[in-house]
Amino acid sequence: NAKPDGEVELEVAWMPVVVQPSATSMTATGIQATSNSTSPSGLALTEAWRLLDGITGAEVATSTGSPVNFLPVAAGTYDLELVVTDANGCVSAPVQVPVEVFAPPAADFSAGDACLGDEVPITINQPWGANTTAEWNVNNNNNVVATGAVASIPGISGVVGEVTIGLVLSTDFGT
């Protein structure tokens, strides 16, 4: 707006303030993130997220809003990036948070033969990682007969013939 004395009046828009993503978690369905981004002027904000390869920086996925979910295709290190734009078009500097994605535990074991009522010997062929729980069942009946890294399954009574031994591994991030 021009003024009579030659001065010009300008309107300066505030930059949105980005609060680091308020929650970043790895779940069975992927990486979930939320944000507490705010604008000093109270304007509406648009949140743009990018999931970047933590080694190469290549873009893996994008999303908008909050919360967002990303499902990485492989275990590894990723960077979760947030950029916020306010209603005036002012754009924040990107904020990145590293996220480590772990491979699911491998249920690799073998079982030996046993006589009716005897314990069934178990050999764990590939140990699973820390923070992993193991639940063993017989004939997929969902009744847990043992937990943990066992050397044998308790006696199986009343079953003659072939028996199926199941193992369900769970981590802090799902099954």
Is the pTM for the entire model greater than 0.85? no
In this predicted model, which residue has the larger pLDDT, 102 or 56?
56
The pLDDT tens digits of the residues spanning 53-89 come to 888 888 888 888 888 888 887 888 888 888 888 888 8
Mention every residue, 6+ apart, whose C-beta is less than 8 A from residue 6: none
The pLDDT tens digits of the residues spanning 40-50 come to 778 888 889 99
- For residues 109 and 87, the answer to whether their CB atoms sit within 8 Å is no
